[in-house]
Amino acid sequence: MNMDFGLYQQQSMKLVMTNELRLAISILQYSTHELMAFIEEQQLENPLLEIKEKERAKIEIDYPKTDDWKTFDGEHTSPLDYLSKNEASLHNHLVSQIRFMPLTDRDKKILHYFIDSLDDNGYFIGDLDEAASRLGITEEKALSSLQVLQSLDPIGVGARSLQECLLIQLRNFEQRNNVAEKIVESYLTMFANKKWKEIAKELAISLEEIQSVADLIKTLQPKPGAMFNTEPLTYISPDVFIEVIDDQLYITNNDQLLPNVTVSTQYKDLLQKATDENSQKYVQQKYQQILWLEKSLNQRQQTLLKVTEAIAKHQENFFKYGYEFLKPLTLKEIATEIDMHESTVSRVTTQKYVQTPKGLFELKYFFSSSLKGESGATASSLSVKETINKIVDQENKQKPLSDQKIVSILEKDHAIKVSRRTVTKYREELNIPSSSKRKRF
């Protein structure tokens, strides 16, 4: 077998992603808060970069107020505004209670161990046998120490299961409900699966009594430690505004969110004063980085506006009249219409928010699959979900509608023809229980 060795020239094509292109793509997909953090990082790395906050004009838009969004009044915020309103952690809250209890130092040490074994929801996730072994105490002592922890506030903390958590809370009521305690203690799985007739028969009680137990259990806290969430509050600021004025849509970028990026006046002289080659190269490189950053930020805002305008054109009736007029729409349709790649549209609609007369939405919300109506017209899957939601809200809870009955109502009253399987899927996505679990007695 002959093998020839030598030098050969060969042409090939490669797609190379430049740093500038990578920067533009990153800036496009960043949320506003991520972008602000990125700009601050760039300022630390680039001595020529200067960030100037824009004067925030007071934004006054007369939108109908809803419970799921808040308006931003344009005032400057303090870092203190972002602190959690509940600064006490679950750990500190429990430790502060045992500090003044008439306990020995040894007992307090045992309780500290159990507190350290709680998860974020306040459940004890350790093992009593292992705890007894590590602490050098009997299993009986470990159990009694856990019961001391379970007597603390919030009631239900230290439970080892949902069942125990609910029982601790029920047993803490001044007026004990023996039926509720019996159901949680012995029939919780059957109760959750709405096998109420079997429970009623075994306990010789009425379905109405079981219904009252269900209403009581709904008032309990299944995650007693969750109220001590120490995560700071976060706010969503709209990137774009859509207004309806005189039956016309007006779309504007919220340019107040992003600062002005400029070359620092303090370092401008460096461009002329840099004498040696390395200094000139460094200054020019940092200067070019600022130019690319400015260009990428402008491109981001233009792309965001362009995509929003295309979405608004398709969903105009939604912004004017509501959810039932939401049309089916795909990323591909918008991408083709504005001559952009589908991935670009996906990036610019993720974690970007638009303030509309109907509320605050992520831009990606407006994309949904289509369903054929009886007349041949298409309906958005989102609008169908909203319709299902309304149908369930208005049903007689003593005789809740089956999925097949919802299919019939959609076809008869809304000219939407869908299968029972589709209704079941949408109902589950909306976290709506089945008809048997929605029934009230």
| Higher pLDDT pick, 441 / 134 | 134
Residues of the chain with CATH 1.10.10.60: 370-438
**pLDDT on residue 16:** 44
At 260, phi and psi to the nearest 5? -80, 130
pLDDT at 83 over 80: no
pLDDT at 425 > cutoff 80? yes
Per-residue pLDDT tens digits for 108-143: 999 999 999 999 899 999 889 999 999 999 999 999
Q: How does pLDDT run across 258-281, given as a tens digit for each residue?
A: 888 888 777 666 666 666 777 778
The CATH number of the domain covering residues in 370-438: 1.10.10.60
Task: Write out pLDDT tens, residues 69-81.
Answer: 333 333 444 444 4
Q: What is the pLDDT of residue 178?
A: 92
Count of beta carbons in the 10 Å neighbourhood of residue 284: 12
Residue 331: partners with Cβ closer than 8 Å, 6 or more residues away:
342, 345, 346, 349, 367
From CA 195, how far away is CA 184, in angstroms rounded? 13
pLDDT digits (tens, 9 = 90+) for 7-36: 656 555 544 456 666 777 888 888 888 888
What's the pLDDT score for residue 74?
39
**Span 326-335, pLDDT tens digits:** 888 889 999 9
Q: What is the pLDDT of residues 179-202, one digit of tens each?
A: 999 999 999 999 988 889 999 999
Interval 237-264: pLDDT, tens? 899 999 999 889 999 998 888 888 888 7
DSSP annotation of 398 reads T
Q: What's the pLDDT at 2?
A: 53
**pLDDT for 305 beyond 60:** yes
The per-residue pLDDT for 78 is 47
Sorting pLDDT into bands at 50, 70 and 90, what band is 430? confident
Q: What local confidence, expressed as pLDDT, does residue 415 receive?
A: 81
pLDDT for position 55 = 62
Q: Which long-range contacts (CB under 8 A, 24 or more apart) does 160-164 make?
A: 160/123, 160/124, 161/123, 162/188, 162/222, 163/188
CB 348 within 8 A of CB 354: no
Q: How far is CA 320 from the centre of its chain?
A: 26
Residues whose CB is less than 8 angstroms from the CB of residue 66 and which lie 6 or more positions away in sequence, other chains included: 359
Of 189, 231, 190, 211, the residue nearest 85 (C-alpha): 231
Alpha carbons 116 and 138: distance in angstroms, whole number = 19
Determine contact, residues 118/124, Cβ cutoff 8 Å: yes
Q: Report the predicted TM-score, pTM, of the whole model to 2 decimal places.
A: 0.60
